[in-house]
């Protein structure tokens, strides 16, 4: 009876022993595509986060610069580096406009970030993405914020 059962089983599914590894191969092919797509989506999210951080750092630096004196660039740079720790002083520009203005004649503040390169976490190829420059320009508010008793704590 045991032998007849095995023979009946082979008659019902002829060639089943040849199909045994197909599922594993199909899974391997689909898994490679799936995980590559998943990693690409995660890297794209990291790139968008880096772009957003650069834009937010320039906005934050400009908001501080409009209430601080023109000589407070080191403090502005250090506060921007809180948002993007890998920023260097050379990558950050703080300009009070018109050029060579003083406390009484400055009308605008322009803060920018340039020269930032993004490197993916998983180096499939030597991919190095260069970010565009980010600039924020705001009208000045109080340029005397570090002078006197009513000094703004953001500028010290």
**pLDDT per residue as tens digits for the range 16-35:** 566 667 888 999 999 999 99
The answer to whether the peptide bond before residue 46 is cis (omega within 30 degrees of 0) is: no
56 sits in which H/E element:
helix 22-65
Residue 135 Rama label (left phi>0; alpha psi -120 to 50; beta) = beta
pLDDT band at 62, cuts 50/70/90?
very high
Q: Measure Cα distances from 93 to 4, 96, 134, 149 in Å.
A: 86, 10, 10, 29
Which has the minimum average pLDDT: 8-12, 18-22, 65-69, 85-89? 8-12
Residue 152 Rama label (left phi>0; alpha psi -120 to 50; beta) = beta
**Structure token digits, residue 130:** 């260069």
Sort strands 117-118 and 129-130 into parallel, antiparallel or unpaired. Answer: antiparallel
**pLDDT per residue as tens digits for the range 116-132:** 988 887 766 677 888 99
pLDDT band at 72, cuts 50/70/90?
confident
For residue 111, give every residue at least 6 positions away whose Cβ sits within 8 Å of its Cβ, in sequence order, or none: 58, 61, 62, 65, 76, 80, 92, 93, 94, 95, 135, 136
């Amino acid at each position: 009876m045991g032998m007849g059962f095995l023979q009946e089983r082979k008659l019902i599914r002829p060639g089943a022993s040849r199909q045994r590894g197909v599922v594993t191969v199909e899974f391997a092919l689909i898994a490679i595509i799936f995980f590559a797509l998943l990693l690409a989506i995660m890297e794209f999210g990291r790139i968008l986060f880096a772009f957003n951080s650069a834009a937010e750092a320039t906005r934050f630096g400009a908001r501080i610069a409009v209430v601080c004196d023109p000589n407070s660039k080191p403090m502005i740079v250090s506060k921007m580096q809180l948002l993007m720790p890998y920023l260097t002083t050379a990558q950050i520009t703080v300009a009070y406009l018109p050029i060579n203005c003083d406390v009484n004649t400055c009308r605008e503040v322009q803060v920018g970030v340039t020269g930032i390169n993004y490197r993916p976490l998983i180096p499939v190829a030597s991919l190095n993405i260069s970010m565009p420059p980010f600039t924020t320009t705001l009208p000045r508010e109080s340029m005397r914020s570090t002078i006197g008793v009513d000094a703004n704590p953001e500028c010290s």
